[in-house]
Structure 1
Amino acid sequence: MAEDRVAFIVAGVQKGGTTALFDYLGEAPSLALSREKEVHFFDDEAIDWARPDYGAYHAAFPPSDGRLRGEATPIYLYWPQSLERIAAYNPAMKLIVMLRDPVERAWSHWKMEYARGAETQPFAWCVREGRQRLFAAEPWGVHREFSYVERGFYGEQVERLFGLFPREQALVLKAEDLRADPGPVLARVRGFLGLPPGAAPAPRDVHVGREMDYGSQLTAEDVAHLRAVYARDAARLADLTGLRFG
């Protein structure tokens, strides 16, 4: 199976520029990306993980023709056991992690869920009392929709990633850098994947939030609250990667 294995995954984070990165990578002729951006294989709790059917995973990609195969499912960094399952599938997997200021990420995530009707509560409540909802979730303590705060504990998640894969197999980037000037970021990605240099593309915006009345605003009080919540984890991330936000 080795020659057929998927070689790289953009494993995080949601609302962190992964769609833009996937879009840019789709222009590289030496890559064979999944037909749909998010495959959601390693976070699928319906799979028998004692005997996973990797054929079902490979069916999400073009036939193997020697090109590097890759996908982008940003929940993998956050979802329990996803990284462990990836390591069992391909210990040589290269993982790209796009991080965005966790406060901005939480706000963007909330707006997405509110716009599509999954969320009905105001943002201020969701990032305070609303976090208790995750204790009624299955698996316990995690949630696909309501994890506005929890997905932003990057230090904890990156530490887990580094415990499962050699650091040279992980590339941690800032979404803000990709958006401001994609050329240097994509050059790093190409080098990481062993691709030849390519022309720097023009910046693009993808998955911009809907214009609508959200009934909430991101207040200074919300920002200060979340900065305090993230303070210890932010220090851990800085120690691990040198990256800082806010």
Structure 2
Amino acid sequence: MNKVGLFIAGGQKCGTTSLHAYLARHPQICAGPKELHFFDDEGVDWARPDHGVYEARFDGPGMRVDATPIYAFWPRAMERIAQYNPAARLILLFRDPVERAWSQWCMEYARGDETMSFARAIREEQRRIAQGGAAMRHHSYVIRGAYGMQVARAMALFPRRQLLFIESAELARDPAGVLARVAAFAGVAPFGAVEPLRHNARAEMDYPAPPDAADVAYITQRLAHDRALLERLTGIGGGRAV
């Protein structure tokens, strides 16, 4: 059985769409549709999941890649991946958490799924999530930037050699260098000439005011301990390569 062997598991608004597009051009990679949302689907019978339905979404030879960046964040998704394929390799991308939160808010605002201002939404986030419903998916602006927690969960489930951590700014600045690391990590031939891509750009429209100094301070304070955890586990944030 040709199981899915590579996952772009995180994080949302961190360059995952561009990375998926790069991978889809590689002749040894079979990239499934972006955002398959299988392992975060709470409608699946996880006592007896039908992985055949999932695998049928991939058409073609090569290493199968699922790019669904909510997986690293969604409760139990990583555990489900580990049960499905303990040998899977996972890529997690990270972006400045304030920029990431603002980008997600803009996406939700453009879609009509957010009516609160950014300043109010980040401060109401914990209350909204506690109430359940769709808030965990659509209004998790700050907590999705808790990358350290996501890395710790991944490290508890997979050997370190099966995890690759990438900063989104590095992907944008040096796609050829990042893709060389990705190819080596995935065990495929090096990429050929790389044409810089930028997918899933922000919708062109008028947005309310971007984060101000108070918003930046609020997010930074909420994630301070997690940021220290991320640096300790990966070196990201400390100026060291991962």
TM alignment of 1:140-155, pairs within 5 A: 143-155=136-148
Unaligned runs of 5+ in 2: none
Q: 1:176 is aligned with what amino acid?
A: A
Q: Shift of the alpha carbon at 1:211?
A: 2.2
Unaligned runs of 5+ in 1: none
Structure 2 residue 89 is the aligned partner of structure 1 residue 94: yes
Q: CA RMSD in A?
A: 1.5
Which residue does 1:62 correspond to in 2? Answer: 59
Which residue does 2:47 correspond to in 1? Answer: 50
Aligned CA distance change for structure 1 residues 108 and 189 (closer, same or farther; 3 Å): same
Structure 2 residue 17 is the aligned partner of structure 1 residue 19: yes
Q: Shift of the alpha carbon at 1:129?
A: 2.6
Q: Distance in 2 between matches of 1:43 and 1:80?
A: 8
Q: Is the 8 A contact 1:182 1:200 kept in 2?
A: no
The superposition leaves residues 16-48 of structure 1 with CA deviations (integer Å, 9 ceiling, x where unpaired) of 1000000001110011111x1111100000000
The superposition leaves residues 43-81 of structure 1 with CA deviations (integer Å, 9 ceiling, x where unpaired) of 000000000000110111015x4x111110000000000
Q: Distance in 2 between matches of 1:178 and 1:233?
A: 23
TM alignment of 1:1-246, pairs within 5 A: 1=1, 4-34=2-32, 36-63=33-60, 65=61, 67-138=62-133, 143-244=136-237
**Structure 2-normalised TM-score?**
0.95
Q: Shift of the alpha carbon at 1:86?
A: 0.3
Q: Shift of the alpha carbon at 1:244?
A: 1.1
Q: How many residues align?
A: 239
Q: Shift of the alpha carbon at 1:12?
A: 0.5
Q: Is the 8 A contact 1:11 1:72 kept in 2?
A: yes
Q: Distance in 1 between matches of 2:119 and 2:139?
A: 13
Q: Distance in 2 between matches of 1:176 and 1:230?
A: 19
* Percent of paired sites with the same residue: 49
Q: Which runs of 4+ in 1 moved over 4 A?
A: none
